Structure 1
C-alpha cells in the first residue's frame, strides 16, 4: 500500500497485539492493545515503545458513573484517502471475552501521524453478529474503502464505501462473500521472521522516511551520539575555561548543553601560550534507589537550598521528613528531619501522603493529604512556612489547613477522598490539580480535577472543580481504576501535566496531559491526553511500578524527574532520579537512563586554550 504523502516508501510498519504475560508484568489489559514495530527494507523489525501498546480502547461509562474497561483485538492498520491512517479493531471486554455493546460492530480510530489517535465511533455493520476479524484498504482507482470481515458464525461480508463512517455504513448493504477469499486476505502477512517477543501479528504497511523518523523519535529513547566543544578558546583564568560547556547531541536530533569538568592544572595563565586541556562531560550519578521506602518524592528549591520530601512508607505513612542540601546530589545523603507526624494535630491522626513543595507569591507551602481516620477519609491539606521560618524546623510550619471550595465548604464531603494536590501558575493565575475518588454510593475510581486557587490563601478554590481525566485506558485501570499524582512541567510552548495510573504495584505508570499556555485551562477540551504511558516498568530494567513523579531544575538548568519505583516486583516503594530529556517535538521523555544520556565512551573532550 502506498504512502502518498511521504515519497519513497522504504520502511515497513508492523501492527500487532501481544500474548499476555505474567499479570504483574504484562497483563491482558496491556497486551490487548495495538503495538507497532518498524523496519527499514532489508533489516529486522524494531519494536516501538519497549514492545508495549501504543493504542488502547477507551472504557465506557455506566449510568452510575463507574467505568467499564474495554480492550482491542485484531487491529488492522491502513492508510486513508487523505494520507492519514485508520485502524479498525474488534472491541472486547478487558479479559478478552465478547463485548455485548460491540455486537456486530467495529471500532474505528484515525491518526494523522501514528503518534496520537482519535477514537471515532463504533461502526454498526448491520448484521447483529459478533465480528471476529476485519481488514480494510483504500482503493484509489475506485475511490472507495474496501472493508471485509468475518463474523463469529463464519459468515464473510464486504462493504465498498465512499467514506468510513457510521452514516456511510448505514446507507449501504453488506455483500456476502465466499469465505475462502476473505480468510485468505486476513491470513496473508508479508515476511516477518523476526517478530517481536509475544507478538500476535496483524498486518504490515509501507511508510515513508518522514513518518518512520517521527516514529523513531517518539517511541525509541534517544541516545547520546556526540559531545562537542569549541576547537579553541581564549582564556585569562580557570574561570574562563569552566564557562565552556559541551553540546551533547542525541540520536533524535536534539541537543543539550552540559557542564564540563575541565582539568586546567597544566595551564599557566601567567604566561602567554597555547595549551591543550582535557575535560569530562559532567554527569550526576543517581543509583536507584536514592531513598529507600520513600514514595511520591518531591524536590523543591527555596532561598538557594534544595529540599527533599516524600511519603514515608518506612513507618506506614505516619510522618513526613525533609532533607536540605546545597545541591541535588547532596540530598541523597543529607540528614532527615521530621517536620510533621500524626501525633501533632488531632485532624491529622493517620496516613500522611504525597507531600509537595510549592512557592506561591514568595511564600513556601507544603501540599499534602491527611486524615484522622482510615484511607477512605483522606483529604487535601496545605501547610505554610511561617515568615522567615526555617523549613528544617517543625515549629516554623503553620498548622495544616484542609482545602475548601469557593463557597467555604470542604473540597469533598462524605462521598469520598481527595489527595495528591499540586499547584502551578500561568499568566498570573494559580491553578490546583488533584485526584478525587468517590466511594459512596459506588466506588468510581480516582479521577483528576482542576480549579483556580486563591494565591493569598492557596487552600481556597476560587472556581468550581473541573474534571480533567478518568482512568479510561487499559494501562490506567490495570488492577484498579486510578488517575492520581498530577504534577506540572511548564515550557515556553506547552503546559505538561503528568499523572500516575493503575494500582500502586508493579503495574503503576505515568501518563501525560498537555495544553497550550494561552488556552483556557479550566476547559477540559483544552487538554490532550496521550493514549499510552510515558514511563512504566518497561522503561528501565529492574525498576517496577515507576510513578508519582515531580520535577525540579538544577543549577545547570537541567530538569530532573523525581519518582518512585520498586527494586523488584515485590520490592519497597523507593525514590529515584532521572534527567528529563525534551524530544524533537518538545515533549518530555522520562525514560532517559544514564547510559543513554551520556555515552561512557564519549565523556572525554579536549580543546586548545590560548592565553594572551
Structure 2
C-alpha cells in the first residue's frame, strides 16, 4: 500500500472533525463561497466523504456578519451544540490592510445537531475590538477555555494567539492572555501570522498546534505545550517550538499544511491529525478565492518522550 496520503475531502479548508459520544464523526470547514456553515457526519472518517451535507446556517445579505464566513468549528459544550466562526461586514480591508472579522457563535440545544434549530447568539466579545478569527474551545480540569487568534494594533503582524476562561460557552469569563506571537522566520513569511489553534491533551501535557505565515506554500504548523498541572492562563507555563512541526512537502507536491484539528481513530488512544493543504503552488488570482485547499487526515505519531510527531503532510510517517 502506498505511503502517500490523498485528500479526504476536496475544496474544504480549515477542516474540523470531532467524534461525539453518539459514535458519529462530525465534519465542518470553510466552503469556497464563504457564505454558509455546513456539517456532515458519518460513523467513520472515510464515510464523511460521501455523507449528506447539511447547511445549518447561511449568512445574511447585510450586517456585521454578512461576509466571508471563515473556519467554523462544531463543539458540544455544557449540554448543547455550538459552532464558532469568523465573519465580517465587508470584503474590504481596513486602514491597516486587515480584514474586519469578528467571532460569532450559534447554538443548537437539540440532541441531534442536524435536526434541531440553530440560534444565532451574536458576537463572542474578547474585549478587544480588532480583527479576530479561528476560535476553538476545550475543557481542562473542569474549566471551559476559549482559544483564538486576534490582531493587537500595538504588535506587528496580523494575529497572535490568545486564551481566556469562559463564563458560558459564548461569553468570556476573564481577560485575554497572549500565548504566542509571530517571531521566528518561518512564522513571518508573506505575513506575520499565528492562527488556527487546536488543542490536544495527552501524556501529561496540554498541546496547542497552530499555523503561521501566508496561506500559500509558506504556511506551516507550530506547537506550544504546557504541563497539565500548570496554570494555563500564565504565559510562563507555555513552551514554544522554535521550528515548525509540519511544513510543505515539495517532493510530494503537498503545500501549505495548516489550520488543523485533532480527532480520535478506531480507539481512543489513536489520534488523527486533520489539516488542509494544496497540491500545487501556481495559484491564479487572489489566493483567498482559490478553492483548492483540501482536507487531509493522517495518524499522529509520538516520540519516546511523549511529544507529538506530525511528520510530513504527504505521508503517513
**For residues 330 and 399 of structure 1, do their structure 2 counterparts lie closer, same or farther at Cα, with a shift above 3 Å needed?**
same
Is contact 1:580–1:592 with CA below 8 Å preserved after alignment? Answer: no
d(CA) in 2 for partners of 1:350, 1:398: 19
d(CA) in 2 for partners of 1:480, 1:595: 27
Aligned residue in 2 for 1:467: 178
1:306 to 18, 25, 28: 25
d(CA) in 2 for partners of 1:539, 1:554: 28
Report the 3-state secondary structure (helix = DSSP H, G, I; strand = E; otherwise coil) of the residue aligned with 2:236. Answer: helix
**For residues 505 and 326 of structure 1, do their structure 2 counterparts lie closer, same or farther at Cα, with a shift above 3 Å needed?**
same
2:239 to 528, 534, 556: 528
2:265 to 551, 554, 563: 554
d(CA) in 2 for partners of 1:310, 1:402: 19
1:567 to 263, 272, 279: 279
- Cα RMSD (Å) of the superposition? 2.4
d(CA) in 2 for partners of 1:348, 1:291: 26
- Which one has the bigger helix percentage? 1
Aligned residue in 1 for 2:287: none
Q: Following superposition of structure 1 onto structure 2, how do residues 35-434 of structure 1 map, counting pairs within 5 Å? A: 287-302=5-20, 303-313=22-32, 315=33, 317-343=34-60, 346-374=63-91, 376-388=99-111, 390-393=112-115, 396-405=117-126, 411-413=127-129, 416-434=130-148
Report the 3-state secondary structure (helix = DSSP H, G, I; strand = E; otherwise coil) of the residue aligned with 1:445. Answer: coil
1:446 to 159, 181, 201: 159
Report the 3-state secondary structure (helix = DSSP H, G, I; strand = E; otherwise coil) of the residue aligned with 1:399. Answer: strand
Normalising by structure 2, report the TM-score.
0.88
Aligned residue in 1 for 2:307: 587
d(CA) in 1 for partners of 2:316, 2:14: 25
Q: Which has the bigger relative contact order, CA under 8 A and spacing at least 6?
A: 2
d(CA) in 2 for partners of 1:434, 1:540: 32
Unmatched tracts of structure 1, length 5 or more? 1-282, 406-410, 598-612
Q: Greater CA deviation, 345-354 or 292-301?
A: 345-354
Using the TM superposition, give the Cα deviation of residue 423 of structure 1 relative to its aligned residue in structure 2, in angstroms: 1.0
Normalising by structure 1, report the TM-score.
0.47
Bigger radius of gyration, 1 or 2?
1
1:506 aligns with 2:230: no
Using the TM superposition, give the Cα deviation of residue 392 of structure 1 relative to its aligned residue in structure 2, in angstroms: 2.2
Unmatched tracts of structure 2, length 5 or more? 94-98, 284-291
Report the 3-state secondary structure (helix = DSSP H, G, I; strand = E; otherwise coil) of the residue aligned with 2:41. Answer: strand
**For residues 568 and 594 of structure 1, do their structure 2 counterparts lie closer, same or farther at Cα, with a shift above 3 Å needed?**
closer
**For residues 339 and 556 of structure 1, do their structure 2 counterparts lie closer, same or farther at Cα, with a shift above 3 Å needed?**
same
Q: Greater CA deviation, 473-482 or 370-379?
A: 370-379
Using the TM superposition, give the Cα deviation of residue 424 of structure 1 relative to its aligned residue in structure 2, in angstroms: 1.1
Is contact 1:355–1:369 with CA below 8 Å preserved after alignment? Answer: yes
Is contact 1:563–1:575 with CA below 8 Å preserved after alignment? Answer: yes
Cα deviation code 1:557-579 (max 9, x no counterpart) = 31111100001113621111111
d(CA) in 2 for partners of 1:525, 1:284: 43
**For residues 397 and 583 of structure 1, do their structure 2 counterparts lie closer, same or farther at Cα, with a shift above 3 Å needed?**
same
d(CA) in 1 for partners of 2:133, 2:24: 27
Using the TM superposition, give the Cα deviation of residue 595 of structure 1 relative to its aligned residue in structure 2, in angstroms: 6.4
Would you identify which runs of 4 or more consecutive aligned residues in structure 1 move more than 3 Å? 283-287, 344-347, 440-444, 592-597
**For residues 345 and 492 of structure 1, do their structure 2 counterparts lie closer, same or farther at Cα, with a shift above 3 Å needed?**
farther
d(CA) in 1 for partners of 2:150, 2:191: 14
Aligned residue in 2 for 1:113: none
